[in-house]
Amino acid sequence: MESPGHCRRGTRRMLHGLPVPSASTRHTVKFFVPSQDPAEGLGVLMLFRLIEESVPAFFRSDRPIVITRAPGRLAVLGGSAPEALRLQLPIAEGACVAVQQSDDDLVRLWAPCRDGSRSQMLSMRLTDLGLPDAPIDYQEARALLLPDPRDRWAGYLLGALLVLARERGLRPKHGSDLLLYSDVPERRGVAASTAITLAAMRAFALQHGVELTPAELASLVHTVEHEIFGAADRRGDSMALLRAEAGELLVLRHGPGDPGRIAVPSDLEFIALETGPLPDDAAAVAVAVADDAHAARFAELLHAEPSDANRRELGDLLFAAHAARGGGSGEFASPADLVVTAARARRDAGGPLLGATATGATGNTVVLLGPHTKIWYEALRLKKALHQATGHSAHVFRWSSPGALSFGSIELRPIGAA
């Protein structure tokens, strides 16, 4: 793989906490007509801008481009085992992919970054993946795609293409040009890699006319993450990112059935703070102790009468889940523990905050629950305390967004095409 580019640097305007494009991006891409107009704040309009700026250097103006998107998610409550009951909430941040067929056998990948921490442009020939005739096995894929940490992001994209070839018989005879734009923070336990893989898998499948059910998509994304990257079973995450609806908790259970849904009550709001990157040698935290019971009772209370006692118990369940994963000692063993301990102190002092828990396999994002809008100010208070204690300025997750299936896909058709 080659890495010729450098990272793009830029700023984002904010509207009610959501990233939105500048005024110049709020129009149709000048070379294309979109099949539908995406909502602001989903990252797609920024993708439009990148596409427009990259013609003809990266994309061509005379052939269609397929766009897909998958959000990140908060693992609010539940165990990490595949059979565990889990409650997950989609976030506004997502991974957007644009793909266009090329005339040669190169797969060119472009993923702008801001800080120079990784490569941003890579290319590989189909023959390096054994395509179209004999796709390489997963052991070869690991040796090919994973040696350089700066290129690791490309493994999820190329892995999606390879898995479609190995598991669904895809035999591409032409390469592709693929652009990835993701604002899901990485290594924060919010399913950044799953969102990227899912968006890429759907984009390649749509480009090549491979029809996949949601269960098949979830299984194929799992194959990329497990067989190539060695990750644990994340099919529940994939199904959550596929099936999610904005503002709804997904109730995920083991098995092929559709997940249940719980609308977040209008008087409540979930907000989350990421507490900083994990060390490179940090082990993931896999906790299932009593989490099924916590998640089941939490779901029951969200359906129950919105009394003060029930709301208080919702918060108690979050604090209990944090304690079950070893937090809450008061000694600030981790930045997440600092935030949860400070949140408990705020509630005990009468602050408008119901509960908090570290979330996800990595445990370095904290979910907060409280009254709508008021909890936002509590989150900012905790963000300030975290910065004073650790020097880390936390990203705050506030809004929600639709899942990959609800978003669907967008086709950019060349202007003047029939």
Average pLDDT over residues 336-352: 95
Note the pLDDT of residue 276.
Answer: 87
Give long-range contacts, CB 8 A cutoff, 24+ apart: 22-28. 24/49, 25/49
**d(Cα 28, Cα 149) in Å, to the nearest integer?**
36
**d(Cα 303, Cα 42) in Å, to the nearest integer?**
29
Same domain, 86 and 196: yes
Note the pLDDT of residue 254.
Answer: 64
Take residue 101 and report the two structure tokens written for it.
């067929």
Inside any domain, residue 109: yes
For residue 340, what pLDDT band results from cuts at 50, 70 and 90?
Answer: very high
Same domain, 89 and 151: yes
The DSSP element (H or E) to which 272 belongs, if any, is strand 268-274
β-sheet bridge partners, residue 88: 75, 250
Same domain, 174 and 298: no
Same domain, 298 and 232: no
Inside any domain, residue 250: no
pLDDT at 37 over 70: yes
Question: By CB neighbour count within 10 A (0-12 exposed, 13-18 middle, 19+ buried), where does 308 fall?
Answer: exposed
pLDDT at 322 over 60: yes
Question: By CB neighbour count within 10 A (0-12 exposed, 13-18 middle, 19+ buried), where does 103 fall?
Answer: exposed
Same domain, 291 and 171: no
Contact call for residues 368 and 375 (beta carbons, < 8 A): yes
Which pLDDT tens digit goes with each residue over 145-162?
Answer: 999 999 999 999 999 999
pLDDT at 303 over 50: yes
Same domain, 212 and 232: yes
Which pLDDT tens digit goes with each residue over 244-254?
Answer: 999 999 998 76
β-sheet bridge partners, residue 33: 413
Dmax (CA) for the chain in angstroms is 66
Contact call for residues 165 and 205 (beta carbons, < 8 A): no
Same domain, 285 and 405: no
- 82/407: higher pLDDT: 407
Which pLDDT tens digit goes with each residue over 83-110?
Answer: 778 899 999 999 999 999 999 999 999 9
Residue (of 46, 42, 44, 50) closest to 67 by Cα position: 44
**d(Cα 88, Cα 324) in Å, to the nearest integer?**
18
Residue-averaged pLDDT of the chain: 86
Same domain, 274 and 181: no
Which pLDDT tens digit goes with each residue over 282-298?
Answer: 544 445 444 678 899 99
Read off the pTM.
0.88
CA-to-CA dists, residue 373 to 16, 266, 267, 268, 370, angstroms: 11, 11, 9, 8, 8
Which pLDDT tens digit goes with each residue over 61-77?
Answer: 999 999 999 999 999 99
3-state secondary structure of 351: coil
Inside any domain, residue 165: yes
Which pLDDT tens digit goes with each residue over 260-284?
Answer: 899 999 999 999 999 987 665 554 4
The CATH number given to whatever domain includes residue 372 is 3.30.70.890
Q: Please state whether beta strands 355-359 and 260-263 pair in parallel, antiparallel, or not at all (unpaired).
A: unpaired
For residue 41, what pLDDT band results from cuts at 50, 70 and 90?
Answer: confident
Q: Sign (positive/negative) of CA torsion 246, 188, 159, 219?
A: negative
DSSP string, 143-183: HHHSS-GGGHHHHHHHHHHHHHHHHH----SS-EEEEEEE-
Note the pLDDT of residue 233.
Answer: 78
Note the pLDDT of residue 17.
Answer: 30
Note the pLDDT of residue 279.
Answer: 60
Contact call for residues 69 and 117 (beta carbons, < 8 A): no
Average pLDDT over residues 346-361: 92
pLDDT at 2 over 70: no
The CATH number given to whatever domain includes residue 130 is 3.30.230.10
pLDDT at 9 over 50: no
Average pLDDT over residues 213-234: 92
Number of domains comprising the chain: 2
* Range(s) of the domain holding residue 392: 263-397
**Which residue's structure tokens are 């650790």?**
390
Radius of gyration of the chain from its Cα atoms, rounded to whole angstroms: 21
Inside any domain, residue 255: no
**d(Cα 44, Cα 26) in Å, to the nearest integer?**
11
Q: Is the peptide bond before 132 cis (omega within 30 degrees of 0)?
A: yes
Inside any domain, residue 191: yes
pLDDT at 319 over 50: yes
Which pLDDT tens digit goes with each residue over 178-198?
Answer: 999 999 998 888 999 999 999
3-state secondary structure of 312: helix
Other CB atoms closer than 10 Å to residue 330's CB: what's the count?
11
Number of Cα atoms under 13 Å in the Cβ half of residue 5: 23
Residue 160 phi, psi (nearest 5) = -60, -45
Inside any domain, residue 274: yes
For residue 80, what pLDDT band results from cuts at 50, 70 and 90?
Answer: low
Inside any domain, residue 199: yes
3-state secondary structure of 197: helix
In sequence order, what are the residues at sequence separation of 6 or more whose Cβ sits closer than 8 angstroms to the Cβ of residue 233? 82, 222, 226
Same domain, 80 and 191: yes
Residue (of 167, 165, 166, 228) closest to 193 by Cα position: 228
Which pLDDT tens digit goes with each residue over 377-389?
Answer: 999 999 999 999 9
Same domain, 230 and 202: yes
Same domain, 104 and 241: yes
Inside any domain, residue 254: no
pLDDT at 8 over 70: no
Same domain, 72 and 194: yes
Q: Which stretches of 4-71 are DSSP H helices? A: 44-53
